[in-house]
A and B are shown apart, each in its own frame.
Chain A
Amino acid sequence: MKLVSIALVVFFASPALALAENDVVMVQSTTSTQNSGLYAYLLPIAAQALDLDIRVVAVGTGQALGNAERCDGDILIVHARAAEEAFVAAGFGTARYDLMFNDFVLVGPRSDPAGVAGAATAAEALARIAAARAPFASRGDDSGTHQKELSLWGGIADVAAASGGWYRETGSGMGATLNVAVGMGAYTLTDRATWLAFENRGDHVILNQGDPVLFNQYGVIPVSPARCPNVNAEGAAAFSAWLRTDGQAVIAAFQPGGQQLFFPNAGN
């Protein structure tokens, strides 16, 4: 009986005891990179190359930055340039590096009630949506996507005033927002990688794309050990360096369904 009790205690205690044994690097990143499957593909390769245990916490950009500011990550991979630069300027990050890019696309119901398919620019497409008061689902969560979206609405429509009407803020990640958009037949702005990996498309298709302003740049930022003494600075630096060198080919090689989702551009 005693032996059984001890065995049970060990079995249940082991999750608690499975703390950082191997050299662990915590990555705070976004749902778009997670949901596309990039990390599932890339991390095992990186882990083996660097002999590190690399773990990703995928949350909204705002939350990722907040977590990193609280020293709960060793390295950041997000796509909100202005916020990233502010992060470094405030001393939380060592430096910001370009990592890879893709683009945003405007998706909506195949019937396209606002007629955005023919618009020449993203601004024109959004203007048509506002004019038609067609439902539009926004992330509403300070994420990289959300910030890009807000920058596009500038000068076209006062979406804050329209919130709750045709403009609907879900306050959620990209996947949840897409579920909502499909569910209510709304337009939404999404990064291409998430859309291509998304399985609940319903009646939605890409209606507008290609405007250079829809460019989506990802950056990588090691968290500053000066600010956060507990970070694995060496591990973060090693991973960051790898991502910008050998990792670039790995990123390019990630082509689910024959389509490349992320384009490495760390040369800058």
Chain B
Amino acid sequence: MPTFSDSILTALGLIASADADLLEIVALSLRVSLSAVFLATLIGLPLGAALAVFRFPGRGALVVLVNALMGLPPVVVGLVVYLTFSASGPLGVLGFLYTPAAMIVAQTVLVTPIIAALSRSTLSDLLGEYDETLRVLGATRLDVIATLLWDARFSLATALLAGLGRALAEVGAVMLVGGNIDHVTRVMTTAIALETSRGALPLALGLGMVLLLITLVLNAVVLGLRGRLEAHAHA
């Protein structure tokens, strides 16, 4: 039975040796998940802002839906994206299946609701504070959105980190649409799943610790930057 100290030692050994395969897997994990968060932000942030600022019939239902979609099961998303990009599916011609492109699409689907829902919530709160004042100053709805996005940028960064955490941690979607192909679509989580199925539990745990460490470092960097920037906050 592997102990935690076994795994920590394995993890440190992996990092210290800068194992080429490990580096490849880490790089791919970062590229796929960061790309997904980037795309999810492009879609989710304006969506969240629009939901916070505009009033229209059905808005309440849409907010509930977006919030509920935060709980999309990754394996279900993987299945749907797989069927979409399958050769016998509607978008098979794109040839995305079993490539990082499909993985990015699947993770974007998973992360967008998180960013949309969390940004809507943050911006809604801020709007409550700013609305009257901005209206009197002559702001259009778009002016309001721009003002809110900038003033809430530090809270929004936390929403992005939540999305990134989700993306880096999930295995169900990328396994189905990527196929865990060695040197092509193998990322941290699918590698961990593979080593687990090989019974190589210390190695699997060690990889898990490496993944945790990466997530920790990313969070520390972003929140550290946030602290420095907030101290000098002037637009």
Contacts and interface: CB of A to CB of B under 8 A. Distances in A.
Contacts of B179: 55, 57-59
Interface stretch (B92-100, B128-136, B219-227): B92-100
A18 B28 CA distance: 12
A11 B31 contact: yes
Given A17-B101, A19-B96, 6 more contacts: A15-B100, A31-B197, A55-B98, A58-B179, A72-B86, A202-B1
Nearest to B38: A12
Interface in B185-224: 194, 196-201
Chain B contact residues: over half helix, strand or loop, or mixed? Answer: loop
A71 B32 contact: no
B180 interface: yes
In the A-B complex, the 9 residue pairs with the closest CB atoms: A175-B197, A200-B199, A15-B100, A71-B87, A57-B179, A16-B101, A199-B199, A198-B199, A12-B35
A96 interface: no
A200 B89 CA distance: 39
B196 A176 contact: yes
A15 B200 contact: no
B109 interface: no
19 contacts: A12-B38, A13-B35, A15-B99, A16-B35, A16-B99, A31-B197, A35-B197, A39-B182, A56-B181, A70-B86, A71-B86, A72-B88, A72-B97, A175-B198, A175-B199, A178-B199, A200-B201, A201-B199, A202-B1
B127 interface: no
A179 B196 contact: yes
Interface residues of B, number: 33
B34 interface: yes
Nearest to B87: A71
Contacts of A16: 35, 96, 99-101, 104
Interface of B: 1, 28, 31-32, 34-35, 38, 86-89, 92, 95-101, 103-104, 179-182, 184, 194, 196-201
B134 to A, nearest CB: 29
A20 interface: yes
Interface residues of A, number: 39
Nearest to A16: B101
B201 A70 contact: no
A186 interface: no
B87 A15 contact: no
B218 to A, nearest CB: 15
Contact of A176 (B86, B98, B197, B201): B197
A19 B101 contact: yes
